[in-house]
Amino acid sequence: MAGKSILKPILKIAAVCAALVLFFLLLWWGQEHWDAYAVRILNLCGIYIAITLGLNLCNGFTGQFSLGIAGFMAVGAYTTALLTMAPEIKQAVYFIEPLIYPLNSIQWGFFPALLMAAVVSGIVGFLVGAPAIRFRGDYLAITTLGFAEIIRVVFTNIVPITNGALGLKGIPPHTDLVWSWGFALICIAIMARLMKSSFGRALKAIRDDEIAAEAMGVNLFSHKCLAFVLSAMMAGVGGGLLGNLITTIDPNMFRFPLTFTVLMMAVLGGLGSITGTVISAVLVTVAMEALRALEEPRVIFGLALPGIPGMRMVVFSIALMIVILFFPKGFMGDREISLDRAKRFATRLCRTNTSRQG
Amino acid sequence: MTVEILLQNIANGITLGSLYALLAIGYTMVYGILGLINFAHGEIFMVSTYFAFYGTAVFALPWQVAFVLAIVLTALLGVVIERAAYRPLRDAPRISVLISAIGVSFLMANLGLVIFGGRPKTFYRPPIFQTPIELGGVKVVALFFVIPLLTAILLVILNYIVYRTKTGLAMRAAQWDFDTARLMGVDVDRAISITFAIGSALAAVGGIMWGLRFAEINPNMGLFPGLKCFIAAVFGGIGNISGAVLGGFILGFGEIMLVALLPGLAGYRDAFAFIVLILILLVRPTGLLGDKQRVKI
Amino acid sequence: MSKNTVPALVCENVTMKFGGLTAVSDFNLRVPEGALYGLIGPNGAGKTTVFNIVSGVLRPSAGAIKLFGDDITGLSPDRIAYRGIARTFQNIRLFQNLTVLDNVLVGLHLRREVNLAQALLALPQHRAEEARMAQTATQLLEEVGLDDFSDYRANALPYGQQRRLEIARALATKPKVLLLDEPAAGMNPAETENLMRLITDIREEFGVTILLIEHEMKVVMGICERMTVLDHGEIIAEGTPAEIQRNERVIKAYLGGGAVVGNKGS
């Protein structure tokens, strides 16, 4: 009996490890052998899972409706790009004003650069969050949107660091499936662990009733900051992965529509659901690419149809409106898909049946 | 800076301030009654300029008719948006309504892109507004007088409606508490519809004057001018109409003066409003003229 | 020795003004350790304001709050909870979307011993603590008779049980002083009976000092040893239930205020 109880968790861990190894081997192999376009979309899926989880942590689980995610992505993307670009390329890109020392002469590996992106965006997240979390609801939304906009404007104007509106080109394409999905899995694990812990419950308590949470001894400032900073870090690293995937970035990429896209993923999946977020981020990313066709001119049965710019976002806005009006909790609400849950559901079903009989 | 340029900048500040004020009123009225940032208000403003554009340029209506028609249509649009996207969520969490508002805003901006096209359109400017007028050695066009004057007249009318009519009383009652207002026989839904109609009509006036002033309109012009005007409303004290006007003027004036006096910071113009917002909320969250509100525990 | 002389909770000359309105003026209160103390008064007398001041939601315009002799005036609500004051709310404030069990677990969060990193890495300390917390929470739910509903959402509970859940959640913070804000509001007579028993049991079992706001005279008179009567923000009487019942000013305040004494909800 005792042997069995020790054996079981070991087996479980072994199984999880084996599955992970197989998964990453597949991704590693796929990076080389799958269609380049498919690989790119899969990369985007992984990145958006991470970023949307970050947004959901703040907006969904903690109830702090922030619209600053694009700003944190910008911080992460620029940090990673500036640290990984080769000095020669930097020299060529910064032709209006040269890049300041020491950024112009260093080149880091991808991993330390991403770590730095996490640190920098975390700090920025704290600087934005610490004053902003005093506001509630709509006010928090508009101040964080304002902060993101300020970040963008600053990035457009500090030419010696960011190269201004021209943006950065020639960022090394470090991001591959192992990186993007590796980070997605890390974020999923962090979220799942957090939500199963006392800290996660405290965050949800803040979402449901701030005043009661504070009266129960939950420190609002530190817990909201925790959500804000973690969220900013996920967005920042996600932004770094994105920059090193598409290899060019400029401040205008990180405007409100980007935040809107991520917000839409979170809302469709359900604010407050990890599994919902994962499914939704993948679906929306794929749909984004699929619907690109709507905006490109093409010929169908000999008929030349013009591309309609803006059509994709029309479709997505309508989808968002339908969900929020008719299924306000998204397709998962705050539920999760997990083995435990399925088991609990089954037992409850049995219990209600027996109690009805009795 | 010469006196001439200074006066020119003051004129610019007053006109931009008037435009911001007209838009800010819509935000403040809707926030007052629904507790919602009507993200779509900026797009309502944007669409109004296209209504006017199509009336004059495509249907070749006399400009007076086209402008009035545009205002009426915009008011209707505001009412329709409220019915379709906000009313069904009246009992839903506030965040859902906010998301819905963001959704409508995006839908309209992108529909605008699809229907009106992404390229900016040239707004028809009746010559009467371009009549040059000389004042104290400075030459300005009539429009610079028309905009603040019209804003002032509309404000007087609005104040009359809100504080002297039964409809206004209903709107103010609904601002306090829906249930109590209903018990007192106020048709809350109607009061909300009227609020949206008035706010949108004012946005349309602002939009048309925007077109007259800047001559170019595009589908993306809604979001950020819109948000800036919301900030103006917060600055003045949300829910307070005079506050919104004051906030609009300070913001419009401040923006022009920032660029005029500190040209080195011109690139930061778009961030200016948000910096003001954050400072205001930190120092005096109720704005300049707002009342203190407490949460009951 | 100090235990017997230092009262659990003291309010010293507490005054609260909102703009021009004085909600509470020169309020004094001494609740001895282990007492079951009542705070009564007609509607709008300022009782909940007193609770909001004691629990840190409001900062008094003047005066001091002392918990076992320590000045806690102006501390934030979470600090005060940590120091050992827990409360319930007049208009129930549960975490509506959390389960009944999770509601109580949130109350246990402030006495946690593991840090965030340990929790994220799921270290053994974290697992042990989670197990301990779950056990404590279940015991608390048993105490208030809600252990069968632990995986229900809080908003699925009927009103009376929501009030009990609030009490369990407050107890989870391991309070020295428990503030109950109209716990019997909206309950039927049978539920009220049960609640009275629950409150006295809690005091016995947890050794907690209880300060109770109640509108329902029957509850206060039935279980409190002493009470203070507030009217229009001022203390008009203080004493044992028997003394209060005979007090002219109290009778006048209640009857004069138009409130019906004793038979509300029955």
| ipTM given for this complex | 0.90
Quote the DSSP letter at residue A188: H
Residue of C nearest to A197 (CA): C119
What is the structure's pLDDT at B1? 60
Is residue C145 a contact partner of residue C178, using CB atoms and an 8 Å limit? no
Q: Decide if A151 touches C, using CB distance below 8 A.
A: no
pLDDT one-digit tens code per residue, C226-238: 999 988 888 999 9
Domains in chain B: boundaries? 3-283
In chain C, positions 75-114, which contact chain B (CB-CB < 8 Å)? 89, 93
The number of residues making up chain A comes to 358
Chain C: partners with 3+ C-beta pairs within 8 Å: A, B
Q: Decide if A352 touches C, using CB distance below 8 A.
A: no
B91-112 burial, b for 16+ CB within 10 Å, e for fewer? Answer: ebeebbbbbbbbbbbbbbbbbb
The answer to whether residue A296 scores a pLDDT higher than 80 is no
Chain A: partners with 3+ C-beta pairs within 8 Å: B, C
A167: left (phi over 0), alpha (psi -120 to 50) or beta: left
Give the separation between CA A289 and CA A3, rounded to whole angstroms.
52
Alpha-carbon distances of A148 from A258, A270, B92, rounded to whole Å: 11, 24, 28
Interface test with C, best of B95, B291, B293, B297 (most C CBs within 10 A): B297
Domain membership flag for residue A253: yes
Residue numbers in A near C111 (CB within 8 A): 217
Q: Given the structure tokens 């379709």, which residue do they identify? A: B84
Q: Which among C18, C19, C52 is the nearest to B297, CB-wise?
A: C52
pLDDT one-digit tens code per residue, A137-167: 788 998 999 999 999 999 999 999 999 999 9
- Reference A133, options A230, A222, A232, A236; nearest CA is A222
pLDDT one-digit tens code per residue, A163-184: 999 999 999 999 999 999 999 9
Is residue A314 a contact partner of residue B104, using CB atoms and an 8 Å limit? no
Domain membership flag for residue A90: yes
Q: What is the mean pLDDT of residues C115-129?
A: 91
Q: Are strands C62-67 and C9-18 parallel, antiparallel or unpaired?
A: antiparallel
Q: How many CA atoms lie within 13 A of B171 on its CB side?
A: 27
pLDDT one-digit tens code per residue, A35-81: 999 999 999 999 999 999 999 999 999 999 999 999 999 999 999 99
Residue numbers in B near A69 (CB within 8 A): none
C56: left (phi over 0), alpha (psi -120 to 50) or beta: left
SS3 A299: strand
Q: What is the mean pLDDT of residues A85-90?
A: 92
Domain membership flag for residue A28: no
What is the structure's pLDDT at B292? 54
The reported pTM is: 0.89
Q: Name residues whose C-beta falls within 8 Å of residue A136's C-beta, 6 or more positions apart in sequence.
A: A210
Give the separation between CA A110 and CA B187, rounded to whole angstroms.
62
Is residue A267 a contact partner of residue A324, using CB atoms and an 8 Å limit? yes
Is residue A122 a contact partner of residue A58, using CB atoms and an 8 Å limit? no
Residue of B nearest to C19 (CA): B292
Phi, psi of A193 (to 5 degrees): -65, -45
Interface test with B, best of A321, A323, A327, A334 (most B CBs within 10 A): A321
Angle at which helices B188-214 and B3-34 pack, to 10 degrees?
160
The number of residues making up chain C comes to 266
C63: left (phi over 0), alpha (psi -120 to 50) or beta: left
Q: Decide if A334 touches C, using CB distance below 8 A.
A: yes
Per the CB < 8 Å rule, is A204 touching C170?
Answer: no
Domain membership flag for residue A95: yes
What is the structure's pLDDT at C266? 33
Q: Which among A198, A216, A348 is the nearest to C119, CB-wise?
A: A198
Q: Decide if A134 touches C, using CB distance below 8 A.
A: no
Alpha helices in C55-188 (DSSP H): 77-83, 100-108, 116-120, 124-144, 159-172
Q: Decide if C159 touches B, using CB distance below 8 A.
A: no
| Rg over CA atoms, chain A | 22
Per the CB < 8 Å rule, is B294 touching C18?
Answer: yes
Residue B277 or residue A112, greater confidence: A112
The answer to whether residue C258 scores a pLDDT higher than 50 is no
Residue numbers in B near A65 (CB within 8 A): 95, 98
Angle at which helices C124-144 and C189-206 pack, to 10 degrees?
130
Q: Which among B92, B95, B297 is the nearest to A211, CB-wise?
A: B297
In chain B, positions 94-123, which contact chain A (CB-CB < 8 Å)? 94-96, 98-100, 102-104, 106-107, 109-114, 118
Is residue B46 a contact partner of residue B222, using CB atoms and an 8 Å limit? yes
Per the CB < 8 Å rule, is C57 touching B294?
Answer: no
Residue of B nearest to A133 (CA): B282
What is the structure's pLDDT at A250? 95
Enclosing domain of residue A71: 36-357
Min Cα distance A63 → chain B (Å) is: 9
Q: Which among C55, C106, C121 is the nearest to A218, CB-wise?
A: C106
Q: Which among B93, B219, B230 is the nearest to A142, CB-wise?
A: B230
pLDDT one-digit tens code per residue, C161-219: 999 999 999 999 999 999 999 998 888 888 899 999 999 999 999 999 999 998 777 78
Interface test with C, best of A57, A193, A201, A355 (most C CBs within 10 A): A201
Environment class of residue A114 by beta-carbon count within 10 Å: exposed (0-12), middle (13-18) or buried (19+)? buried
Residue of A nearest to C54 (CA): A215
Angle formed at CA A90 by CA A85 and CA A93, multiple of 5 degrees: 125
Third-level CATH fold of B3-283: ABC transporter involved in vitamin B12 uptake, BtuC (1.10.3470)
Per the CB < 8 Å rule, is B297 touching C18?
Answer: no
Q: Which among C96, C110, C122 is the nearest to A216, CB-wise?
A: C110
Q: What is the mean pLDDT of residues B44-66?
A: 93
Q: What is the separation of C-alpha A38 from the centre of its chain, rounded to a whole number of angstroms?
A: 20
Give the separation between CA A46 and CA A242, rounded to whole angstroms.
10
**What's chain C's average pLDDT?**
89
Single-letter amino acid code for the residue at C145: G
What is the structure's pLDDT at C265? 36
What is the structure's pLDDT at B92? 83
**What's chain B's average pLDDT?**
88
Residue numbers in B near A257 (CB within 8 A): 106
Q: Which among A139, A142, A313 is the nearest to B227, CB-wise?
A: A142
Where does chain B show beta strands of DSSP type E? 121-122, 132-135, 138-141, 216-217
DSSP for A20-88, please give it. Answer: HHHHHHHHHHHHHHS-HHHHHHHHHHHHHHHHHHHHIIIIIIS------HHHHHHHHHHHHHHHHS-HH
Residue of B nearest to A212 (CA): B297
Quote the DSSP letter at residue A310: T
What is the structure's pLDDT at B293? 54
- Least confident window among A116-120, A262-266, B15-19, B32-36: B32-36
Residue of A nearest to B281 (CA): A135
Per the CB < 8 Å rule, is C107 touching A216?
Answer: yes
Per the CB < 8 Å rule, is A134 touching B268?
Answer: no
Q: What is the separation of C-alpha A336 from the centre of its chain, rounded to a whole number of angstroms?
A: 18
What percent of chain B has pLDDT above 70? 96
What is the structure's pLDDT at C4? 57
Q: What is the mean pLDDT of residues B255-259?
A: 86
Neighbours of A25 (CB within 10 A): 11
pLDDT one-digit tens code per residue, A200-238: 999 999 999 999 999 999 999 999 999 999 999 999 999
What is the structure's pLDDT at B296? 56
pLDDT one-digit tens code per residue, C28-76: 999 999 999 999 888 778 888 999 999 999 999 999 999 999 999 999 9
Per the CB < 8 Å rule, is B271 touching A321?
Answer: no
Give the separation between CA A31 and CA A25, rounded to whole angstroms.
10
Per the CB < 8 Å rule, is A214 touching C78?
Answer: yes
What is the structure's pLDDT at C254? 75
Residue of C nearest to B293 (CA): C18
Give the separation between CA C17 and CA A69, rounded to whole angstroms.
41
Q: Given the structure tokens 């009227």, which residue do they identify? A: B194
Single-letter amino acid code for the residue at A131: P
Alpha helices in B122-222 (DSSP H): 143-164, 166-176, 178-183, 188-214
Min Cα distance B265 → chain A (Å) is: 9
- Least confident window among A264-268, A335-339, C165-169: A335-339
- Reference B239, options B199, B183, B197; nearest CA is B199
Give the separation between CA B231 and CA B275, rounded to whole angstroms.
10
Chain B: partners with 3+ C-beta pairs within 8 Å: A, C
User: Number of structural domains, chain A?
Assistant: 1
SS3 B122: strand
- Reference A294, options A284, A309, A275; nearest CA is A309
Per the CB < 8 Å rule, is B278 touching A320?
Answer: no
Give the separation between CA B66 and CA B76, rounded to whole angstroms.
15
Q: Given the structure tokens 């009487």, which residue do they identify? A: C237
The answer to whether residue A199 scores a pLDDT higher than 90 is yes
Angle formed at CA A291 by CA A287 and CA A295, multiple of 5 degrees: 155
- Reduce the secondary structure of C241-259 to three states and give it as a string: HHHHHHCHHHHHHHHHCCC
Alpha helices in chain C (DSSP H): 2-5, 47-54, 77-83, 100-108, 116-120, 124-144, 159-172, 189-206, 217-223, 241-246, 248-256
Environment class of residue A346 by beta-carbon count within 10 Å: exposed (0-12), middle (13-18) or buried (19+)? exposed
Residue of C nearest to B294 (CA): C18
Q: Decide if C48 touches B, using CB distance below 8 A.
A: yes
Is residue B287 a contact partner of residue B56, using CB atoms and an 8 Å limit? no
Residue numbers in C near B297 (CB within 8 A): 48, 52, 57, 89, 93
The answer to whether residue C257 scores a pLDDT higher than 60 is no
- Least confident window among A123-132, B133-142, B206-215, C198-207: B133-142
Give the separation between CA B280 and CA B288, rounded to whole angstroms.
9
Q: Name residues whose C-beta falls within 8 Å of residue B43's C-beta, 6 or more positions apart in sequence.
A: B104, B105, B108, B109, B112, B222, B223, B226
CATH of the domain at A147: 1.10.3470
Q: Name residues whose C-beta falls within 8 Å of residue A54's C-beta, 6 or more positions apart in sequence.
A: A69, A72, A187, A230, A231, A232, A233, A234, A235, A238
SS3 B121: strand
Residue numbers in C near A6 (CB within 8 A): none
In chain C, positions 14-33, which contact chain B (CB-CB < 8 Å)? 18-19
